[in-house]
């Protein structure tokens, strides 16, 4: 079910639970973080567009992906500024910036400002929140 006014995808938690794998559900809906170096896309550098595993919105292009060595897929910028929301996250005794899918509010990961590229940003994203669509 999608909200046509805001363009948001809103589903009952039970629906999400049915549609997502347990790992996707834990990350997207419960803000879990997958264990480093275990994610499907950590070391994948195939061409394509990474879309949200929850709603299919395009989130990151493979060109923006780089090997950060941190154990999770890292991107220098989102596919479109409007496709990700950022929120201050004070959990775990740290101040971080949480990255969410703007369409379904799914948790994706965090953004840090120690990236190597021109943006200086490092979007550290859980593989479980992403799906790679080949071009
Ligand atoms: Zn989404």
Condensed to tens digits (0 to 9), the pLDDT of residues 48-65 reads: 999 999 999 999 999 999
Q: Considering the domain 13-134 in this protein, what is its CATH number?
A: 2.170.150.20
pLDDT reported for residue 18 = 97
Q: How confident is the model at residue 4 (pLDDT cuts 50, 70, 90)?
A: low
Decide if pLDDT at 113 tops 60.
yes
What pLDDT sits at residue 75? 96
Torsional sign, CA 8, 14, 19, 24 = positive
In this model, does residue 73 exceed pLDDT 70? yes
What contacts 5, CB < 8 A, 6 or more positions away?
A: none
Which residue bears the tokens 């060109």? 63
Q: What separation in Å is there between the alpha carbon of 19 and the centre of ligand 1?
A: 13
Concerning whether 70 is annotated as a catalytic residue, the answer is no
Residues 19-51: tens digit of each pLDDT: 999 999 999 999 999 999 999 999 888 999 999
Chain centre to alpha carbon of residue 101: 7
Confidence of residue 105 (pLDDT cuts 50, 70, 90): very high
Q: How far apart are CA 23 and CA 94, in angstroms?
A: 24
Choosing from 55, 101, 104, 124, the catalytic residue is 124
Q: 103 CA distance to ligand 1 centroid (A)?
A: 5
CA–centroid distance, 116 to ligand 1, in Å, is 26
């Amino acid at each position: 079910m999608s909200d046509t006014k805001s363009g948001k995808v809103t589903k009952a938690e039970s629906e999400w639970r049915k549609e997502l794998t347990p790992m996707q559900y834990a990350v997207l809906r419960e803000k879990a973080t997958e264990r480093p170096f275990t994610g499907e896309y950590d070391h994948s550098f195939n061409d394509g567009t990474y879309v949200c595993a929850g709603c299919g919105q395009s989130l990151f292009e493979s060109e923006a992906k780089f090997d950060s060595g941190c154990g999770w897929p890292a991107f220098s910028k989102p596919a479109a500024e409007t496709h990700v929301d950022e929120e201050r996250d004070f959990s775990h005794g740290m101040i971080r910036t949480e990255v969410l899918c703007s369409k379904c509010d799914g948790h994706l990961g965090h953004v840090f400002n120690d990236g190597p590229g021109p943006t200086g940003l490092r979007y550290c994203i859980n593989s479980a929140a992403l799906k790679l669509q080949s071009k």
